[in-house]
Structure 1
Amino acid sequence: MNTTELNPEILKTKQHFEILDGLRGVAAIAIVVFHFMEIVYLPEKNFIAHGFLAVDFFFCLSGFVIAYAYDDRIGKMGLSAFFKSRLIRLHPMVIAGTVLGLIAFLFNPFTGIPEGYTAGKIAMIFFATLLMIPNPVMADRYFNIFGLNAPAWSLFWEYVANIIYALVLYRLKRSVLLFLAAIAAITLCYVSHRANGSLLGGWAGENFWDGGARIAYSFLAGMLIFRFNWIIKNKLGFLGLSALLLLAFLLPHSELNWLTQLLVVLVYFPLIMAIGAGANLSQSLKAICVFLGKLSYPLYMTHYAAMWIFASYYTKYQPGLPLLVSIIIGGTALLIGFAYLIMKFYDTPLRAYLLIKYSK
């Protein structure tokens, strides 16, 4: 078989775990709310202070889904076909998020373009983000490694994990994966200790490698859940599991962050994954879960352009609490609606076209 081509038979999607799709959507909405809130409040006063841990849940889910979808067929696909399939799945939204970020940067109605940004520098930042090349040069954006679309930092590590999976991880025995996960867990504990008890890292130049530690453990944990079939049959359903997931994000900020954050990532999220994979889903909620799963990635990759505009607005006008509540609720709803339009009219048809084009 020509391994440079995508075989349509291989690309057929396996049966989905719809509840996990739904939980991914819940996590994506939670992180949008978290990003609104962190602009306004310090962690001590932020009711969703641990919403950033949604990224670690994404990483764990990614490890499970990649192992489930590709462990038994990546050898038939070949590396080239695997990488093409992942690029088709992920990169259209990288492009969309980068373009939206550039538009928001150039036409922010509350700040204009900050001083010191020549056309050449803006072009360099744009193409670095487009090509997923870390480039923490924007001081006014806290040296995000992708200044035009901050959430892309986690996609960078997703790409890294996918590459390592295809080259190494899928070949390894379960015992070796367990050993690597143990090393990754120890590394994550060190990162938490070094960062004064917080796992909120990976997005900026100064904490770049924290992102590697975060995905290393969670991705491997997701793979191990699949490899060992750690699936817990239960009747919690989507609503019950959504409540359990939200509890992790709603944990109050405290002096015990060094412990609570580690326990959530090391134990709680893998447990939710195992329960979610074995939960029963009522037919009445299946369509909602499928919709949330499809919406989650477009929402995650398109919402942050609005966050920079909101931050500029808040700094300039300092609106009161009633108006802030309206803005955050209304803004989240609008961003969900916008992500739906991006999904329906850009991401879905483009990926369908690319799959057809590169399966020939």
Structure 2
Amino acid sequence: MTETTAATQPRFLALDALRGVLALLVVLFHLPVDSHLRDLPLVMHGYLAVDYFFVLSGFVIAHSYGQRINGLAQGRDFLIKRVARVWPLHAVMLGLFVLLEVVRALTHFDPVPPFTGDRAPGGIVTNLLMIHALGTEDSQTWNGPAWAVSAEMLCYVVFAGIMLWARRFGIALSLILSLILAVLGAVIVVSLAPRWMNTTWEYGWARALYGFFLGLIVYRVFSWRRAPGKGWLEALLILAALAFIWVATGPWTVLASLVFAPVIWVLAGDRGPVARALTWKPLVKLGDVSYGVYLIHMLLIVLMLIAARKLGLFHERRVDLGSMWLNDLLTLGFLALVIALAVASYRYIETPARDAVGAWLRRRSGVSSAHG
């Protein structure tokens, strides 16, 4: 399969669907409810699902923009589009977290002191600029999971630079630089990150570079040779990835991106029976709203913890309704609420922002062409 042919595939439905499922795993990892799921190793190590997001992001960005950044103007427009994709919901969620602190300050409804610790006012600026995971903070700030937004933006900037350089010196250079960046990111995580792959505000940027540029390499492999579409191979690689999440601890977690890479390659063509099963419409829709699932859930957890403390339902760092089965129902209800809010976010925040910026760029391009 040639790279040109690969570029004609508009969507990677199975990959999107799997992203949605893994976004729910991240929610379960953060959710402090004493359910039957809470102590499963798959859930306790659910933070590793974020590395699937990084590898997939590199893969998809290489597919969508690897042939389209031919000059500074295209590089600028690419970055504007990426900001339009990730910043609006990030800013809205940050605003809601700030609003919660204002309510705390005005009403004293909660004993937690407002605007202190990881909610210090200075973090608002770095979060708005999306640089809060690039060494500007000494802890995870405000909407904790949003560290990945900052790290992802760094990857976009570096990608645009590499594509511009590759246009001048040859496409092979992009592969070489991608390999160097992926290896460098992994080495930094192994050498410096105190909790290896469970690093966020400290060395999450290196973790992101590792996964993102590995994803670019996977896309080059996919553009040259598609997976055979064998159901047994798809199932084997997915089960291997889940088994890895189940057992991985310590420095072994650094292999996460490498484990996800073949999963992305084998599912990318939507050819085999497992990939086609993942293209079930509800799963694809879950993939569409996965960014909202990822960014929204932490605020809901904070609100739930406030309510649980007031009701005396928070024991040993977990919410407990007095029955594991009731806790299971609470978990399912929480997931349903997160998904519903993510659907609303996708419809009323993410899509309008993306479309508005896209339309603005097209109008500006038309004006520039007319004047040219």
**TM interval, short-chain normalised:** 0.7 to 0.9
Give 2:188's aligned residue. Answer: 187
2:66–2:163 contact (8 Å) kept in structure 1: no
Q: Which amino acid aligns with 2:342?
A: A
In structure 1, the gaps of 5 or more residues are: 1-11, 137-141
Pick from 51, 56, 66: which aligns with 1:56? 51
Q: Which amino acid aligns with 2:334?
A: G
Instruction: Give, in whole Å, the separation in 2 of the partners of 1:99 and 1:13.
Output: 39
Q: Superposition RMSD on alpha carbons, in Å? A: 3.6
TM-score w.r.t. structure 1 length? 0.78
Alpha-carbon shift at residue 50 of structure 1 (Å)? 1.2
Give the 5 Å matches for 1:1-360. 15-37=10-32, 48-75=43-70, 77-107=73-103, 112=110, 114-115=112-113, 117=115, 124-134=122-132, 144-147=139-142, 149-168=143-162, 171=166, 172-191=173-192, 194-195=194-195, 198-203=196-201, 208=202, 210-229=203-222, 231-236=226-231, 240=235, 246-249=242-245, 251-252=246-247, 257-265=249-257, 267-280=258-271, 281-282=275-276, 285-315=279-309, 316-318=312-314, 319=320, 320=322, 321-360=324-363
Give 1:8's aligned residue. Answer: none
1:92-146 deviation digits (Å, cap 9, x = unpaired) = 111222123234444579962733639xx8654444423324299xxxxx96433
Q: Percent identity, aligned pairs only?
A: 25
1:22-60 deviation digits (Å, cap 9, x = unpaired) = 11111111111111048999x976551111011111110
Instruction: Give, in whole Å, the separation in 1 of the partners of 2:233 and 2:282.
Output: 10
- SS in structure 1 at match of 2:187: helix
- SS in structure 2 at match of 1:359: helix
1:156-189 deviation digits (Å, cap 9, x = unpaired) = 0101110111112562342343343333333333
Give 1:7's aligned residue. Answer: none
Instruction: Give, in whole Å, the separation in 2 of the partners of 1:274 and 1:239.
Output: 10
1:237–1:279 contact (8 Å) kept in structure 2: no
With over 3 angstroms needed to count, the CA separation of the structure-2 counterparts of 1:257 and 1:123, relative to structure 1, is closer
Q: Which amino acid aligns with 2:97?
A: G
2:133–2:205 contact (8 Å) kept in structure 1: no
1:50–1:248 contact (8 Å) kept in structure 2: no
With over 3 angstroms needed to count, the CA separation of the structure-2 counterparts of 1:312 and 1:144, relative to structure 1, is farther
Instruction: Give, in whole Å, the separation in 2 of the partners of 1:168 and 1:331.
Output: 41
Alpha-carbon shift at residue 340 of structure 1 (Å)? 0.7
1:190-219 deviation digits (Å, cap 9, x = unpaired) = 246x43xx421113xxxx1x2022112111
TM-score w.r.t. structure 2 length? 0.76
With over 3 angstroms needed to count, the CA separation of the structure-2 counterparts of 1:99 and 1:336, relative to structure 1, is same
Instruction: Give, in whole Å, the separation in 2 of the partners of 1:83 and 1:35.
Output: 30
1:295–1:339 contact (8 Å) kept in structure 2: yes
2:178–2:217 contact (8 Å) kept in structure 1: yes
1:191–1:213 contact (8 Å) kept in structure 2: no
Considering only CA atoms, is the larger Rg found in Structure 1 or Structure 2? 2
1:301-328 deviation digits (Å, cap 9, x = unpaired) = 1111011123334454232333322221
